[in-house]
Amino acid sequence: MEIILIFPGQRTIKRPTNKERTAIMKGNTKVIERLNARLADELTAINQYMVHSEMCANWGYAKLHAVIEKRAINEMKHAEKLIGRILFLEGRPVVSILNKISIGAKVEDQHARDWQAENDAVKAYNDDIRFAAESGDNGTRDMLTDILKDEEDHINWIEEQLDQIAQLGVQNYLVEQMH
C-alpha cells in the first residue's frame, strides 16, 4: 500500500503508468531507422580507418598511423552514442550491418577515400539533424550535432593533407609522416 503525503495547498500528482512512460520514451520509428543507418556508417568507418591506420604503420608513416587510429577511435565513440540513443528511444541497435569498405592502396588514395566517407557523413548527419528537429526530438538533434562537429574536424584534417600533397608533392609530404 502506497502512502502519499499531501501538504496543504498541494495537489496529488499521479505517477505515470508504464504505458504512459513507454509513450513518452518511445522514439519515432523513422528517427530510430536513421540512427541505425548512421550506426552502420560509423561501424564501416571504424573498419576502414583501422585498416588505413595499420597500413600506414606498416609503411613506417608513424604520424599518419597515430592520427588515423585516433579518428577510428573517435568513430567508435560515435557508434557508442548512437547505440545509447537508440536504446533510450527503445529501439534495437543493429550492429551487424556494414557498408562497403573503401581501402586505398596508397596514402593519397586513402585520404581521398576517407574524404568521401566523411563528406557522405556530413551530408547524412545534416539531413538527420533536420529530420530529428522536425520530428520534435531535440535530444537526438543535439547528439547528432555533436557528432557532426567531429566529422567536420575530420574532413578539415583530410583536406589539409590533400592540400599539402598538392603543394609539396606526395614524396615530400610522405617524408614528413615518418616521425
CB nearer Fe ion, residue 10 or residue 55 = 55
Residue 25 or 103: the one with the smaller Cβ distance to Fe ion is: 103
Binding to Fe ion, residues 100-159 (CB under 5 A): 118, 151, 154
Using CB atoms within 10 Å of the CB of residue 178, give its burial: 0 to 12 exposed, 13 to 18 middle, 19+ buried.
exposed
Does residue 131 contact residue 146 with C-beta atoms inside 8 Å? Answer: no
Please tell me the count of residues contacting Fe ion according to CB under 5 A. 6
Shorter beta-carbon distance to Fe ion: residue 75 or 137: 75
Window 14-73: residues binding Fe ion (CB under 5 A): 42
In the bound state with Fe ion, the residue whose beta carbon lies nearer, of 107 and 148, is 148
Question: Phi-psi region for residue 136, left (φ > 0), alpha (ψ -120 to 50) or beta?
Answer: left
**Least spacing, CB of residue 72 vs Fe ion, in Å:** 9
Of 31, 44, 45, which is closest to residue 86 (Cα–Cα)? Answer: 31
For the record, the C-alpha cell of 12 comes out as 496529488
Kindly state the smallest distance separating residue 128's Cβ from Fe ion, in Å. Answer: 12
Task: Decide: residue 93, CB within 10 A, 0-12 exposed, 13-18 middle, 19+ buried.
Answer: middle
CB of 120 to Fe ion, least distance (A): 10
Shortest reach from residue 161's CB to Fe ion, in Å: 14
